[in-house]
Structure 1
Amino acid sequence: MELTKHAHACVTFTDDGRTLLVDPGTFTPNAAELIAAADAVLITHEHFDHLDEAALAAELEKRPDLPVFGPAAIASKLGGRAVVVTAGDRITPAGFTASVHGGRHAVIHADIPVIDNVGYLVEGRVFHPGDSYEVPEVAVETLLLPTSGPWTKFGEAADFVRAVRPARVIQVHELMLSELGQNSARMLLGENGLTGLPLEIQPLGSSTAV
Protein backbone atom coordinates (compact mmCIF):
# COMPACT_ATOMS: atom_id res chain seq x y z
CA MET A 1 0.00 0.00 0.00
CA GLU A 2 1.21 3.51 -0.80
CA LEU A 3 0.48 6.74 1.02
CA THR A 4 0.61 10.03 -0.89
CA LYS A 5 0.95 13.27 1.08
CA HIS A 6 -1.13 16.22 -0.10
CA ALA A 7 -1.41 19.70 1.36
CA HIS A 8 -2.22 19.96 5.07
CA ALA A 9 -4.24 17.03 6.49
CA CYS A 10 -5.05 15.34 3.19
CA VAL A 11 -3.58 11.98 2.19
CA THR A 12 -4.47 9.21 -0.22
CA PHE A 13 -3.93 5.48 0.13
CA THR A 14 -3.56 3.44 -3.04
CA ASP A 15 -3.38 -0.29 -3.48
CA ASP A 16 -4.24 -2.65 -6.34
CA GLY A 17 -5.80 0.15 -8.39
CA ARG A 18 -7.99 1.40 -5.53
CA THR A 19 -7.77 4.89 -3.99
CA LEU A 20 -8.89 5.91 -0.51
CA LEU A 21 -8.88 9.65 0.21
CA VAL A 22 -8.73 11.17 3.71
CA ASP A 23 -9.61 14.76 4.67
CA PRO A 24 -9.68 16.71 1.38
CA GLY A 25 -10.17 20.22 2.80
CA THR A 26 -10.07 23.74 1.42
CA PHE A 27 -6.38 24.06 2.37
CA THR A 28 -5.71 21.34 -0.23
CA PRO A 29 -5.73 23.21 -3.57
CA ASN A 30 -6.39 20.09 -5.66
CA ALA A 31 -9.11 18.71 -3.36
CA ALA A 32 -11.73 18.54 -6.13
CA GLU A 33 -9.34 16.63 -8.38
CA LEU A 34 -8.47 14.21 -5.60
CA ILE A 35 -12.13 13.63 -4.77
CA ALA A 36 -12.88 12.93 -8.43
CA ALA A 37 -10.15 10.27 -8.49
CA ALA A 38 -11.15 8.62 -5.20
CA ASP A 39 -13.02 5.36 -4.78
CA ALA A 40 -14.00 6.28 -1.21
CA VAL A 41 -13.54 9.25 1.13
CA LEU A 42 -12.94 9.38 4.88
CA ILE A 43 -13.52 12.63 6.80
CA THR A 44 -12.31 13.03 10.39
CA HIS A 45 -14.40 16.12 11.24
CA GLU A 46 -16.30 19.06 9.82
CA HIS A 47 -13.69 21.86 9.87
CA PHE A 48 -13.08 23.41 6.45
CA ASP A 49 -9.40 22.53 6.38
CA HIS A 50 -10.43 18.85 6.46
CA LEU A 51 -13.66 19.04 4.44
CA ASP A 52 -14.10 20.93 1.18
CA GLU A 53 -17.86 20.74 1.43
CA ALA A 54 -18.57 22.32 -1.95
CA ALA A 55 -16.14 20.09 -3.84
CA LEU A 56 -17.37 16.90 -2.17
CA ALA A 57 -21.05 17.83 -2.65
CA ALA A 58 -20.39 18.55 -6.33
CA GLU A 59 -18.76 15.16 -6.83
CA LEU A 60 -21.65 13.42 -5.05
CA GLU A 61 -24.01 15.04 -7.53
CA LYS A 62 -22.00 13.36 -10.30
CA ARG A 63 -21.36 10.13 -8.40
CA PRO A 64 -24.07 9.62 -5.77
CA ASP A 65 -22.67 6.15 -5.05
CA LEU A 66 -19.27 7.52 -3.94
CA PRO A 67 -18.78 6.12 -0.41
CA VAL A 68 -18.16 8.88 2.15
CA PHE A 69 -17.64 8.21 5.86
CA GLY A 70 -17.45 10.60 8.81
CA PRO A 71 -19.05 11.82 12.04
CA ALA A 72 -22.73 12.77 12.08
CA ALA A 73 -22.00 16.41 11.18
CA ILE A 74 -20.56 15.28 7.84
CA ALA A 75 -23.75 13.49 6.88
CA SER A 76 -25.73 16.56 7.90
CA LYS A 77 -23.63 18.89 5.76
CA LEU A 78 -23.88 16.56 2.77
CA GLY A 79 -27.63 16.07 2.95
CA GLY A 80 -27.38 12.60 4.44
CA ARG A 81 -25.03 11.36 1.72
CA ALA A 82 -22.41 9.98 4.11
CA VAL A 83 -22.16 6.96 6.37
CA VAL A 84 -21.96 8.03 10.02
CA VAL A 85 -19.13 6.40 11.96
CA THR A 86 -18.18 6.43 15.63
CA ALA A 87 -15.42 4.89 17.75
CA GLY A 88 -15.39 1.11 17.57
CA ASP A 89 -16.75 0.88 14.03
CA ARG A 90 -14.99 -1.19 11.39
CA ILE A 91 -15.54 -0.30 7.76
CA THR A 92 -14.25 -1.39 4.34
CA PRO A 93 -14.10 1.73 2.16
CA ALA A 94 -13.07 0.84 -1.41
CA GLY A 95 -11.93 -2.54 -0.14
CA PHE A 96 -9.52 -1.09 2.42
CA THR A 97 -10.08 -2.01 6.05
CA ALA A 98 -10.37 0.84 8.53
CA SER A 99 -11.20 0.99 12.22
CA VAL A 100 -12.57 4.13 13.86
CA HIS A 101 -11.14 5.62 17.04
CA GLY A 102 -11.47 8.65 19.31
CA GLY A 103 -14.49 10.86 19.27
CA ARG A 104 -13.73 14.47 20.18
CA HIS A 105 -11.72 17.29 18.63
CA ALA A 106 -8.88 18.69 20.73
CA VAL A 107 -9.80 21.71 22.84
CA ILE A 108 -8.90 25.00 21.15
CA HIS A 109 -10.29 27.34 23.83
CA ALA A 110 -12.95 27.15 26.52
CA ASP A 111 -15.09 29.58 24.49
CA ILE A 112 -15.06 27.35 21.39
CA PRO A 113 -17.39 24.32 21.41
CA VAL A 114 -15.69 20.93 21.09
CA ILE A 115 -16.95 19.02 18.06
CA ASP A 116 -16.85 15.36 17.05
CA ASN A 117 -13.61 14.08 15.53
CA VAL A 118 -12.67 10.51 14.65
CA GLY A 119 -9.36 8.93 13.74
CA TYR A 120 -8.94 6.12 11.23
CA LEU A 121 -6.53 3.20 11.39
CA VAL A 122 -6.15 2.06 7.78
CA GLU A 123 -5.25 -1.56 7.05
CA GLY A 124 -4.35 -2.01 10.70
CA ARG A 125 -1.16 -0.02 10.14
CA VAL A 126 -1.52 3.72 9.47
CA PHE A 127 -3.35 6.06 11.86
CA HIS A 128 -4.77 9.45 10.85
CA PRO A 129 -5.99 11.17 14.04
CA GLY A 130 -7.69 14.20 12.51
CA ASP A 131 -7.48 17.07 14.99
CA SER A 132 -6.77 15.15 18.15
CA TYR A 133 -3.96 13.67 20.18
CA GLU A 134 -6.31 11.06 21.65
CA VAL A 135 -4.40 7.79 21.83
CA PRO A 136 -6.01 4.84 20.00
CA GLU A 137 -6.14 1.61 21.98
CA VAL A 138 -4.51 -0.36 19.17
CA ALA A 139 -1.02 -0.92 17.84
CA VAL A 140 0.01 1.66 15.22
CA GLU A 141 2.81 1.11 12.73
CA THR A 142 2.79 4.54 11.05
CA LEU A 143 1.43 7.63 12.80
CA LEU A 144 0.39 10.72 10.85
CA LEU A 145 1.26 13.51 13.29
CA PRO A 146 -0.41 16.95 13.18
CA THR A 147 2.20 19.63 13.87
CA SER A 148 0.36 22.95 13.45
CA GLY A 149 -2.99 24.51 14.21
CA PRO A 150 -4.71 26.53 16.94
CA TRP A 151 -5.08 23.40 19.09
CA THR A 152 -1.56 21.97 18.78
CA LYS A 153 1.42 22.14 21.11
CA PHE A 154 4.75 20.45 20.48
CA GLY A 155 4.93 19.09 24.03
CA GLU A 156 1.55 17.40 23.63
CA ALA A 157 2.56 16.11 20.20
CA ALA A 158 5.65 14.52 21.76
CA ASP A 159 3.58 12.87 24.50
CA PHE A 160 1.17 11.60 21.85
CA VAL A 161 3.98 9.92 19.91
CA ARG A 162 5.40 8.44 23.10
CA ALA A 163 1.99 7.03 24.06
CA VAL A 164 1.18 5.61 20.62
CA ARG A 165 4.68 4.14 20.20
CA PRO A 166 4.63 3.81 16.41
CA ALA A 167 7.53 2.58 14.35
CA ARG A 168 7.28 5.56 12.01
CA VAL A 169 6.00 9.17 12.20
CA ILE A 170 4.98 11.28 9.19
CA GLN A 171 4.04 14.94 9.53
CA VAL A 172 0.57 16.18 8.52
CA HIS A 173 -1.50 19.30 9.28
CA GLU A 174 1.58 21.45 8.70
CA LEU A 175 0.40 24.50 6.73
CA MET A 176 0.47 26.90 9.66
CA LEU A 177 4.21 26.33 10.04
CA SER A 178 6.85 28.06 7.92
CA GLU A 179 9.76 26.04 6.60
CA LEU A 180 11.71 27.12 9.66
CA GLY A 181 8.82 26.04 11.88
CA GLN A 182 8.66 22.63 10.26
CA ASN A 183 12.38 22.13 10.71
CA SER A 184 12.01 23.18 14.35
CA ALA A 185 9.26 20.57 14.73
CA ARG A 186 11.53 17.96 13.18
CA MET A 187 14.33 18.81 15.60
CA LEU A 188 12.16 18.96 18.73
CA LEU A 189 9.95 15.97 17.90
CA GLY A 190 12.49 13.90 15.96
CA GLU A 191 14.99 11.20 16.76
CA ASN A 192 17.35 13.60 18.56
CA GLY A 193 14.49 15.33 20.32
CA LEU A 194 11.60 14.26 22.52
CA THR A 195 10.38 11.12 20.77
CA GLY A 196 13.48 9.23 19.59
CA LEU A 197 11.84 8.74 16.18
CA PRO A 198 12.49 10.67 12.96
CA LEU A 199 9.71 13.08 12.04
CA GLU A 200 9.35 12.53 8.30
CA ILE A 201 8.42 15.61 6.28
CA GLN A 202 7.04 14.35 2.98
CA PRO A 203 7.09 16.70 -0.03
CA LEU A 204 3.60 17.42 -1.30
CA GLY A 205 2.56 14.89 -3.90
CA SER A 206 5.22 12.38 -2.88
CA SER A 207 4.40 8.77 -2.08
CA THR A 208 5.83 6.25 0.34
CA ALA A 209 5.15 2.59 1.02
CA VAL A 210 3.32 1.99 4.30
Structure 2
Amino acid sequence: MRITKLGHACVRIEHEGTTVVLDPGGFTDPDAVDGVDAVLVTHEHADHYAAGSLRRAEAPVHTIEGVAAHVREDAPDLVDRLHVVSPGERFEVGAVSVRAVGELHAVIHPELPRIANCGYVLEAGGTSVYHPGDALTGPGQDVDVLLLPVSAPWLRVAEAVDFAREVGARRNLAIHDRIYSDVGLGVVGGHLERFLEPRGQAYTRLADGEDL
Protein backbone atom coordinates (compact mmCIF):
# COMPACT_ATOMS: atom_id res chain seq x y z
CA MET A 1 0.00 0.00 0.00
CA ARG A 2 1.20 3.49 -0.87
CA ILE A 3 -0.03 6.43 1.23
CA THR A 4 0.54 9.92 -0.17
CA LYS A 5 0.01 13.03 1.95
CA LEU A 6 -1.66 15.84 0.03
CA GLY A 7 -2.97 19.23 1.12
CA HIS A 8 -4.31 19.52 4.67
CA ALA A 9 -6.56 16.52 5.43
CA CYS A 10 -6.31 14.94 1.98
CA VAL A 11 -4.60 11.58 1.60
CA ARG A 12 -4.30 9.34 -1.45
CA ILE A 13 -4.11 5.56 -0.96
CA GLU A 14 -3.02 3.17 -3.72
CA HIS A 15 -2.90 -0.61 -3.77
CA GLU A 16 -2.70 -3.07 -6.65
CA GLY A 17 -4.14 -0.67 -9.21
CA THR A 18 -6.84 0.82 -6.96
CA THR A 19 -6.60 4.49 -5.94
CA VAL A 20 -8.77 6.12 -3.28
CA VAL A 21 -8.53 9.74 -2.17
CA LEU A 22 -9.97 11.09 1.08
CA ASP A 23 -11.13 14.64 1.83
CA PRO A 24 -9.93 16.66 -1.18
CA GLY A 25 -11.21 19.94 0.23
CA GLY A 26 -10.53 23.59 -0.38
CA PHE A 27 -6.98 23.52 1.05
CA THR A 28 -5.98 20.78 -1.41
CA ASP A 29 -4.84 21.13 -5.03
CA PRO A 30 -7.68 20.01 -7.34
CA ASP A 31 -5.40 17.56 -9.17
CA ALA A 32 -5.30 15.40 -6.03
CA VAL A 33 -8.30 13.53 -7.42
CA ASP A 34 -6.98 12.89 -10.92
CA GLY A 35 -7.27 9.24 -11.94
CA VAL A 36 -8.84 7.99 -8.70
CA ASP A 37 -11.28 5.09 -8.47
CA ALA A 38 -13.27 6.61 -5.59
CA VAL A 39 -13.43 9.66 -3.34
CA LEU A 40 -14.33 9.44 0.35
CA VAL A 41 -15.52 12.56 2.19
CA THR A 42 -15.77 12.67 5.98
CA HIS A 43 -17.92 15.78 6.46
CA GLU A 44 -19.20 19.00 4.96
CA HIS A 45 -16.63 21.60 6.09
CA ALA A 46 -14.94 23.36 3.19
CA ASP A 47 -11.43 22.16 4.10
CA HIS A 48 -12.68 18.58 3.51
CA TYR A 49 -15.41 18.96 0.89
CA ALA A 50 -15.14 20.89 -2.37
CA ALA A 51 -17.72 20.33 -5.10
CA GLY A 52 -15.21 21.31 -7.80
CA SER A 53 -12.82 18.56 -6.76
CA LEU A 54 -15.60 15.97 -6.75
CA ARG A 55 -16.65 17.07 -10.22
CA ARG A 56 -13.07 16.77 -11.49
CA ALA A 57 -12.66 13.28 -10.03
CA GLU A 58 -15.07 11.50 -12.44
CA ALA A 59 -15.34 8.73 -9.83
CA PRO A 60 -17.89 7.46 -7.30
CA VAL A 61 -18.18 9.60 -4.16
CA HIS A 62 -18.77 7.81 -0.85
CA THR A 63 -19.94 10.07 1.95
CA ILE A 64 -22.58 10.68 4.61
CA GLU A 65 -26.04 12.17 4.13
CA GLY A 66 -24.92 15.56 5.50
CA VAL A 67 -22.42 15.94 2.66
CA ALA A 68 -24.75 14.40 0.09
CA ALA A 69 -27.31 17.11 0.87
CA HIS A 70 -24.72 19.78 0.02
CA VAL A 71 -23.77 17.97 -3.19
CA ARG A 72 -27.42 17.86 -4.28
CA GLU A 73 -27.58 21.63 -3.82
CA ASP A 74 -24.10 22.66 -5.00
CA ALA A 75 -23.51 20.14 -7.77
CA PRO A 76 -26.67 18.28 -8.80
CA ASP A 77 -24.79 16.85 -11.79
CA LEU A 78 -22.87 14.66 -9.35
CA VAL A 79 -25.89 13.01 -7.71
CA ASP A 80 -25.65 9.88 -9.86
CA ARG A 81 -22.15 9.26 -8.48
CA LEU A 82 -23.12 9.61 -4.81
CA HIS A 83 -23.06 6.63 -2.46
CA VAL A 84 -24.40 7.51 1.01
CA VAL A 85 -22.83 5.49 3.83
CA SER A 86 -23.86 4.91 7.44
CA PRO A 87 -21.78 4.22 10.59
CA GLY A 88 -20.44 0.68 10.57
CA GLU A 89 -21.14 0.12 6.88
CA ARG A 90 -18.55 -1.82 4.89
CA PHE A 91 -17.91 -1.57 1.16
CA GLU A 92 -15.23 -2.38 -1.39
CA VAL A 93 -13.38 -0.12 -3.80
CA GLY A 94 -11.41 -2.44 -6.05
CA ALA A 95 -8.60 -3.94 -3.96
CA VAL A 96 -9.39 -1.73 -0.94
CA SER A 97 -11.90 -2.62 1.78
CA VAL A 98 -13.53 0.32 3.61
CA ARG A 99 -15.51 0.61 6.84
CA ALA A 100 -17.32 3.77 7.95
CA VAL A 101 -16.66 4.85 11.56
CA GLY A 102 -18.35 7.34 13.90
CA GLU A 103 -21.17 9.84 13.62
CA LEU A 104 -20.24 13.31 14.95
CA HIS A 105 -17.67 16.06 14.44
CA ALA A 106 -15.56 16.97 17.46
CA VAL A 107 -16.84 19.78 19.68
CA ILE A 108 -15.62 23.17 18.44
CA HIS A 109 -17.53 25.15 21.09
CA PRO A 110 -20.44 24.06 23.31
CA GLU A 111 -22.66 26.72 21.74
CA LEU A 112 -22.13 25.41 18.20
CA PRO A 113 -24.19 22.46 16.99
CA ARG A 114 -22.19 19.36 16.13
CA ILE A 115 -22.47 18.25 12.52
CA ALA A 116 -22.17 14.70 11.25
CA ASN A 117 -18.70 13.25 10.61
CA CYS A 118 -17.68 9.83 9.33
CA GLY A 119 -14.18 8.41 9.54
CA TYR A 120 -12.98 5.53 7.38
CA VAL A 121 -10.82 2.46 8.01
CA LEU A 122 -9.21 1.28 4.77
CA GLU A 123 -7.61 -2.16 4.52
CA ALA A 124 -5.53 -3.64 1.72
CA GLY A 125 -2.58 -5.98 1.45
CA GLY A 126 -2.56 -6.68 5.18
CA THR A 127 -2.30 -2.97 6.12
CA SER A 128 -5.04 -0.91 7.76
CA VAL A 129 -5.28 2.90 7.73
CA TYR A 130 -7.69 5.07 9.70
CA HIS A 131 -8.79 8.58 8.67
CA PRO A 132 -11.00 10.00 11.47
CA GLY A 133 -12.04 13.19 9.70
CA ASP A 134 -12.64 15.92 12.30
CA ALA A 135 -13.27 13.65 15.25
CA LEU A 136 -11.49 11.86 18.05
CA THR A 137 -13.56 8.72 17.68
CA GLY A 138 -11.55 5.52 17.74
CA PRO A 139 -11.68 3.01 14.87
CA GLY A 140 -12.97 0.14 16.99
CA GLN A 141 -10.12 -2.11 15.87
CA ASP A 142 -6.34 -2.23 15.72
CA VAL A 143 -4.91 -0.26 12.80
CA ASP A 144 -1.39 0.03 11.41
CA VAL A 145 -1.53 3.71 10.43
CA LEU A 146 -3.48 6.55 12.05
CA LEU A 147 -3.94 9.69 9.98
CA LEU A 148 -3.67 12.01 12.96
CA PRO A 149 -5.17 15.54 13.01
CA VAL A 150 -2.54 17.87 14.48
CA SER A 151 -4.00 21.38 14.24
CA ALA A 152 -7.63 22.51 14.40
CA PRO A 153 -9.94 24.94 16.21
CA TRP A 154 -11.36 21.91 18.04
CA LEU A 155 -8.05 20.28 19.03
CA ARG A 156 -5.46 20.65 21.81
CA VAL A 157 -2.05 18.96 21.66
CA ALA A 158 -2.93 16.88 24.72
CA GLU A 159 -6.03 15.60 22.93
CA ALA A 160 -3.98 14.63 19.87
CA VAL A 161 -1.51 12.75 22.07
CA ASP A 162 -4.24 10.93 23.98
CA PHE A 163 -6.12 10.05 20.80
CA ALA A 164 -2.99 8.59 19.20
CA ARG A 165 -2.30 6.62 22.38
CA GLU A 166 -5.87 5.32 22.46
CA VAL A 167 -5.77 4.16 18.84
CA GLY A 168 -2.31 2.66 19.38
CA ALA A 169 -1.17 2.61 15.74
CA ARG A 170 2.52 1.94 15.19
CA ARG A 171 2.63 4.68 12.53
CA ASN A 172 1.00 8.09 13.02
CA LEU A 173 0.94 10.36 9.97
CA ALA A 174 0.06 14.03 10.48
CA ILE A 175 -2.96 15.42 8.66
CA HIS A 176 -5.14 18.51 9.14
CA ASP A 177 -1.99 20.66 9.26
CA ARG A 178 -2.84 23.88 7.41
CA ILE A 179 -4.14 25.68 10.51
CA TYR A 180 -0.80 26.28 12.26
CA SER A 181 2.44 27.86 11.04
CA ASP A 182 5.51 25.69 10.48
CA VAL A 183 6.77 26.88 13.87
CA GLY A 184 3.55 25.79 15.57
CA LEU A 185 3.57 22.45 13.79
CA GLY A 186 7.14 21.93 14.93
CA VAL A 187 6.05 22.45 18.53
CA VAL A 188 3.16 20.00 18.11
CA GLY A 189 5.41 17.47 16.42
CA GLY A 190 7.93 17.68 19.26
CA HIS A 191 5.24 16.85 21.80
CA LEU A 192 3.88 13.97 19.75
CA GLU A 193 7.33 12.47 19.31
CA ARG A 194 8.07 12.89 23.01
CA PHE A 195 4.93 11.08 24.15
CA LEU A 196 4.45 8.51 21.38
CA GLU A 197 7.87 7.24 20.42
CA PRO A 198 8.72 5.75 23.85
CA ARG A 199 5.60 3.61 23.38
CA GLY A 200 6.84 2.30 20.03
CA GLN A 201 4.53 4.61 18.06
CA ALA A 202 6.26 6.51 15.28
CA TYR A 203 5.12 10.03 14.37
CA THR A 204 5.72 11.48 10.90
CA ARG A 205 4.69 14.71 9.20
CA LEU A 206 5.21 14.58 5.44
CA ALA A 207 5.32 17.45 3.00
CA ASP A 208 2.57 17.51 0.39
CA GLY A 209 3.29 14.95 -2.29
CA GLU A 210 5.49 12.74 -0.09
CA ASP A 211 4.44 9.20 0.72
CA LEU A 212 4.92 6.26 3.04
Q: Secondary structure at the match of 1:78?
A: helix
- Say yes or no: does 1:91 pair with 2:95: no
Q: Secondary structure at the match of 1:37?
A: coil
Query: What's the counterpart of residue 177 of structure 1?
Result: 180
Q: Secondary structure at the match of 1:86?
A: coil
Quick one: distance in 1 between partners of 2:71 and 2:33?
Answer: 14
**Greater alpha carbon shift after TM alignment, 194-203 vs 17-26:** 194-203
Q: Secondary structure at the match of 1:24?
A: coil
What TM-score do the two structures reach when normalised by structure 2?
A: 0.89
Query: What's the counterpart of residue 24 of structure 1?
Result: 24
Unaligned ranges ≥5, structure 1: none
Query: What's the counterpart of residue 193 of structure 1?
Result: 195
| Residue pair 1:14, 1:20 contacting (<8 A) in 2 also | yes
Query: What's the counterpart of residue 78 of structure 1?
Result: 71
Quick one: distance in 1 between partners of 2:112 and 2:129?
Answer: 30
Cα shift at 1:194: 5.5
Q: Secondary structure at the match of 1:199?
A: strand
- Say yes or no: does 1:115 pair with 2:124: no
User: Runs of 4 or more off by more than 6 Å in structure 1?
Assistant: none
Query: What's the counterpart of residue 55 of structure 1?
Result: 53
Q: Secondary structure at the match of 1:51?
A: coil
Query: What's the counterpart of residue 36 of structure 2?
Result: 38
Cα shift at 1:195: 6.1
Quick one: distance in 2 between partners of 1:150 and 1:195?
Answer: 25
Quick one: distance in 1 between partners of 2:115 and 2:204?
Answer: 29
1:15-64 deviation per Cα after TM superposition (whole angstroms, max 9, x unaligned): 22221010000011x22x222321100001010000112331x337xx4x
Q: 1:157-168 counterparts in 2 under 5 A?
A: 157-168=160-171
Question: Alpha carbons of 1:184 and 1:20: their partners in 2 closer, same or farther (altered >3 Å)?
Answer: same
Quick one: distance in 1 between partners of 2:103 and 2:188?
Answer: 26
Amino acid at match of 1:59: R
Quick one: distance in 2 between partners of 1:21 and 1:143?
Answer: 15
Superposed CA RMSD = 1.6
Cα shift at 1:95: 3.5
Question: Alpha carbons of 1:19 and 1:157: their partners in 2 closer, same or farther (altered >3 Å)?
Answer: same
Unaligned ranges ≥5, structure 2: 73-78
| Residue pair 1:145, 1:171 contacting (<8 A) in 2 also | yes
Percent of paired sites with the same residue: 36
Q: Secondary structure at the match of 2:34?
A: helix
Q: Secondary structure at the match of 2:134?
A: coil
Q: Secondary structure at the match of 2:148?
A: strand
Amino acid at match of 2:3: L
